[in-house]
A and B are shown apart, each in its own frame.
Chain A
Amino acid sequence: MNFGRYKRELSALLAYVALLVAVGAAAPSFFGAGNLRDMALNNAPVLLVAVGMTLVILVGEIDISVGSQFAVCSVAAGWMAKEGVPVALLLPAVILLGSLMGAVNGALVGYLRLPSIIVTLAMLVAWRDALRWTTQGAWVQDLPRNFQWFGLGQGAAQWLIVGGALLVLAAFSWMLRNLSAGRAVHAVGSDAEAARLAGIEPRRVVFGVFVLMGALTGLAALLNAVRFNAVPSNAGIGLELKAVAAVVVGGTAITGGRGTLVGTLIGAALLGTIGTALTFVGINPFWEKAIQGAIILAALVSDVALGHLDRVRAMGLTLRAARAK
């Protein structure tokens, strides 16, 4: 097997293993089954969003509006449940809502060819403030009893959430590799013009990817919301940065075309572990943000250390690749 192609993923994995070993040595109780389950549950929503973000970054775009979309979907899920929408219908309804918001981004970026960072910056502000205006900060409370855990009971629903997130990850990973649509994502991200000449419609691919991003954000919002019995109106602040960081630490090139979902899984696990690990080791939480920033930079530098820097791509110093759209 050719490991050279996956050096970025391997370096992230190396960092992750090093972190686990260090924490394991300092605080063995970290590996308790309960802790691992809780960490998996708490990070499942971020993972789902990061899966969508991987697709978006693979086509050479970015979506920083996901945190606000996440909040809108969470509150909408709460409202619908309160209005008596059956729990079984919540899932498709919230995913549809997420897809619609994704479609707005997708249409503006894909078909009108506006730069994604600006479009999603605008949406980040607009959705968040629209939600603040509508809810006036009030939480959605007094939800029906069967909202929490889908009415399945804590144990079963916990498996469902973690299993569901991993299944989505596996499914997308398989599709990226084996379906023509998946290959098209890589192709458009590598060189949109070449992809077009090869018979791929780049606009449609970009549009589709943003819709998927929205759908996954909706799914993540619902799976997160059902872990509680009320929905706060300020969910998901800063989620976009967590997701982008997970994707990038996982080795996906910000300029598009290169990256794997396994890498994203490692990146999400690495960043999702740090906070908990610090508490276990007994390091003051004041330093958490600094350490997180250092790890993102270290993941970049480790690329150099491994002698595998995709120079051609990084030469651009810029987001110039995106200009080709």
Chain B
Amino acid sequence: MNPTVTQPEARELKVNAPWRERVFPNNEWVLIVVILAECAVFSVTGNNFLSRDNAFEITRLSVEIGLLALALTPIIITGGIDLSVGSMMGLAAVVLGALWRDAELPMPAAIALTLAVGALGGYLNALMITRLNFPPLIVTLGTFSLFRGVAEGLTRGIENYSGFSQGFLFLGQGYVGGLVPTQLFVLVAAAAACWWWLHRTPYGRSLYAIGFSDEGARYAGVPVRSRLTLIYVLSGLAASLAAVIYVAHLGQAKSDAGTGYELMAITAVVLGGASIFGGRGTVLGTLLGLFGIVILQNGLRLSAQPAELAGILTGVLLVATILLDRLSTRARTQPRAAHTHAEDFEVRNSQVAILSAVILLGALIVAGSNWMLVRSVREHAAAGGAPSSPVAAGAPAGQPAGGGKKAVVALMPKAKGDPYFVSCKAGADEAAKELGVELLWDGPTDLDPAKQNEVVEAWITRGVDAIAVSVENKVGISTVLRKARQRGIKVITWDADAEKDARDFFINQATPQGIGYTLMDEAARITGGKGDFAIITASLSAANQNEWIKFIKERLAEKYPEMKLVAVQPSEGDRDRAFSETQTVLKVYPTVKLVMAIAAPAVPGAAEAVKQSGRTDVKVTGLSLPNMCKPYVKEGVIESIVLWNTVDLGYLTVYASNALAAGQLKPGDAGLTAGRLGKIEVAGEEVRLGAPFVFNKENIDNFNF
């Protein structure tokens, strides 16, 4: 708003500028300070943070986002933006899977065609931006929906391509020389090429000219359109390359690949000193920004601190860096007339500002982690100080694993904020307290298979006694779980299983078949075995729900010929969306007598819609938590819900993990004594919680979760 900074300062050629300004034209050195500060803090608070293995793991996890960030750097330098890169990853992953499996192309050909699709998508963006002169923000907002939508449409959200060859998976999972992750070479090559191109060729320099003023660049003889076309095509290409690596990394190709990656990549670029208005930015800065974020996330994980802190600190870092930058830019663009003393003074002022802000930031991080540390120590003291629970005193499984040393048990939900898993955590906490084990609870904030792998990797580095995972993606996580077993960590899956050889035990609360059949039987009971019904699912690509729907349909076909499934609508795990979808279903299919919602938040949403419609002839059933549904069950809108005792599930998982780590639970055992649950059945490599339970008006008050 202030006329004094109408332009990013038009820098004069700085052949003789001090080295600091030549290497770090945008104060990127601040990021080095931040990264060093992070390393210093985390080497104290984190387990095994400063190890060679961890350093390489961090780089492996940053390859996909790094590629997107590198592609976005030239785009942002020209003053554009590309929001569609994450969605393009989803589309490219699906295309790769389809070409390889369905079209049976050899892998190299499939990869080549996938990259071509990516380039084509980028060209579509470029076409609308350069030929039709639309703002990049809007064009790529449109293709953001379009690419993801086409990916979902092509696969019906369900298709999950897996079973790739070892050679291909090596690209995403292997180590060159037993140490360096394979895909790191791709990132290094891409970064080097990008750096050379952007900073050492006239071609790259012309992008800065476009960013400063595309009109000016045009008059100076820069072919603006073709340059812009190229960078958007490259961006699509980079996104599809990232998708290939993502697929090799997880061993699966699904339409939800890369969801939300565009924001991470943009954050890295901007943190690295690029100006969103164009004309400024460096490859070095982007890489530093990327590592600043990734190290923060990794370090918090190894310090067993809440992952939410990463989001908050990233936000603070972002604002702080641009603020610093603005302050120092303002100092540098003061009128240059008084060239001697005045300028020196300004510069020194800005340096003081930057330094103090960095110190403040470092202090914030340290203070934040200290606070968490103190809190967790206090919790441990409280847990350890109290005498072991009465149950633990008697039962052999109740002793902490590993003799006197406190066992560390790490539990991962599919999504941390999901009410279902929040209730599991209550049980896990209870068990950890009784047993006196240290419980780590971490996982993705939203369903995200890549993030699950990342957390397991961090736990392996950190060193834990047992890992228990609720698996989102069977194929994807199995590789990393096998790696954990090789390192001597006991592995348990709970809630949903991985591949059999990737874990020691599976805590089986219900099989997908059991859930599907129970839901269908319950539906038939409510409707009397005839009539239409509709399903409200989570997202259309949710693996679990799709599995359940498969068994619901199977049961329907074999036992209930007079019932008909008329619609399956998505709720995206959002209650409000479930509400409006149910309203619409009731109007479009007036014959529907039952709505079956199979995601925890969807059931109350569907129930509220039925209630507000005044249709007392329609009932709701599904899979949800008792507390959420209580009011509706009592009013009679929800006839019943199907679930197991989730608190007990978390409780049992911690008991089993601890027993396994202590060597008290072995394959072939017939039973396991688990605290207040008593003797639990063990069959082969499965610990059985019991069959799904039906909650209704009569019994729902007995449960509080």
Chain B nearest CB from A297 CB (Å) reads: 4
A309 contacts B326, CB within 8 Å? no
Return the contact of B584 from the options A139, A193, A228, A276 (Cβ within 8 A). A276
Known A118-B276, A319-B79, A320-B278: A293·B143 in contact at CB below 8 Å:
yes
Return the contact of B134 from the options A241, A287, A288, A314 (Cβ within 8 A). A314
A108 CB within 8 Å of chain B: yes
Give chain B interface residues in 228-270, CB to chain A under 8 Å: 228, 263, 266-267, 270
A229 CB within 8 Å of chain B: yes
CA distance A255 to B137 in the complex (A): 10
> Which residues from chain A contact B267 at a C-beta distance below 8 Å?
121, 125
CA distance A141 to B270 in the complex (A): 40
Chain A nearest CB from B663 CB (Å) reads: 33
> Which residues from chain B contact A235 at a C-beta distance below 8 Å?
574, 576
CA distance A292 to B587 in the complex (A): 22
CA distance A130 to B13 in the complex (A): 44
B322 contacts A255, CB within 8 Å? no
Known A38-B580, A121-B318, A288-B149: A296·B588 in contact at CB below 8 Å:
no
> Which residues from chain A contact B78 at a C-beta distance below 8 Å?
317-318
B298 CB within 8 Å of chain A: no
A206 CB within 8 Å of chain B: yes
B71 CB within 8 Å of chain A: no
CA distance A324 to B146 in the complex (A): 32
A146 CB within 8 Å of chain B: no
> Which residues from chain A contact B416 at a C-beta distance below 8 Å?
132, 137
Which residue of the partner chain A has the closest CB to B146? A293
CA distance A224 to B266 in the complex (A): 31
A117 contacts B311, CB within 8 Å? no
Chain A nearest CB from B309 CB (Å) reads: 7
CA distance A244 to B138 in the complex (A): 9
- B581-618: CB near A (< 8 Å → 1, else 0) gives 10111011000000000000100100010001100000
In which size bucket is the chain A interface? 35 or more
Known A248-B138, A289-B152, A293-B142: A122·B417 in contact at CB below 8 Å:
no
- B295-314: CB near A (< 8 Å → 1, else 0) gives 00000000000101111101
A119 contacts B152, CB within 8 Å? no
Chain B nearest CB from A321 CB (Å) reads: 9
Chain B nearest CB from A74 CB (Å) reads: 10
A55 CB within 8 Å of chain B: no
> Which residues from chain A contact B476 at a C-beta distance below 8 Å?
none
> Which residues from chain B contact A292 at a C-beta distance below 8 Å?
145, 149
Which residue of the partner chain A has the closest CB to B278? A318
Which residue of the partner chain A has the closest CB to B631? A229
Question: Which label, helix, strand, loop or mixed, suits the secondary structure of the B interface?
Answer: helix
CA distance A125 to B148 in the complex (A): 22
CA distance A29 to B586 in the complex (A): 12
Known A290-B149, A292-B145, A318-B277: A126·B311 in contact at CB below 8 Å:
yes
The residue in B5, B266, B588, B631 that gathers the most chain A C-beta atoms within 10 A of its C-beta is B588
Give chain B interface residues in 556-571, CB to chain A under 8 Å: 567-570
Which residue of the partner chain B has the closest CB to A244? B141
> Which residues from chain B contact A323 at a C-beta distance below 8 Å?
6-8, 277-278
B608 contacts A137, CB within 8 Å? no
- A289-325: CB near B (< 8 Å → 1, else 0) gives 1111110110011001000010100111111101111
CA distance A306 to B583 in the complex (A): 37
- A186-197: CB near B (< 8 Å → 1, else 0) gives 000000110010
The residue in B1, B141, B579 that gathers the most chain A C-beta atoms within 10 A of its C-beta is B1
> Which residues from chain A contact B574 at a C-beta distance below 8 Å?
232, 234-235, 237
B418 contacts A137, CB within 8 Å? yes
CA distance A132 to B444 in the complex (A): 12
> Which residues from chain B contact A290 at a C-beta distance below 8 Å?
145-146, 148-150, 152-153
Chain A nearest CB from B427 CB (Å) reads: 14
Which residue of the partner chain A has the closest CB to B148? A289
Which residue of the partner chain A has the closest CB to B158? A286
> Which residues from chain B contact A196 at a C-beta distance below 8 Å?
1, 3
A300 contacts B141, CB within 8 Å? no
A230 CB within 8 Å of chain B: yes
> Which residues from chain B contact A115 at a C-beta distance below 8 Å?
275-277, 322
- B134-168: CB near A (< 8 Å → 1, else 0) gives 11111101111111111011001100000000000
A114 contacts B3, CB within 8 Å? no
Which residue of the partner chain B has the closest CB to A195? B1
Chain B nearest CB from A114 CB (Å) reads: 5
Return the contact of B137 from the options A122, A206, A254, A315 (Cβ within 8 A). A254
Chain B nearest CB from A139 CB (Å) reads: 6
> Which residues from chain A contact B136 at a C-beta distance below 8 Å?
317-318
CA distance A154 to B416 in the complex (A): 34
Known A154-B612, A296-B138: A133·B309 in contact at CB below 8 Å:
yes
> Which residues from chain A contact B570 at a C-beta distance below 8 Å?
285
Chain B nearest CB from A35 CB (Å) reads: 5
B141 contacts A114, CB within 8 Å? no
CA distance A136 to B149 in the complex (A): 31
CA distance A279 to B570 in the complex (A): 11
Chain B nearest CB from A11 CB (Å) reads: 14
Give chain B interface residues in 275-298, CB to chain A under 8 Å: 275-278
- A28-46: CB near B (< 8 Å → 1, else 0) gives 0100101100100010000
> Which residues from chain B contact A325 at a C-beta distance below 8 Å?
1-2
B445 CB within 8 Å of chain A: yes
Known A125-B315, A126-B312, A301-B132: A280·B278 in contact at CB below 8 Å:
no
Q: A122-B318, A248-B138 are in contact. List 7 more A-B contacts (CB 8 A).
A: A62-B137, A114-B322, A139-B419, A193-B3, A234-B573, A314-B134, A318-B79
19 contacts between A and B (CB under 8 A): A42-B576, A123-B315, A126-B315, A135-B417, A227-B608, A228-B576, A232-B575, A233-B417, A241-B144, A254-B135, A286-B153, A288-B149, A293-B145, A293-B147, A296-B142, A309-B132, A311-B133, A315-B214, A323-B278
| Minimum-distance CB pairs A-B, first 4 | A290-B149, A129-B311, A293-B146, A126-B315
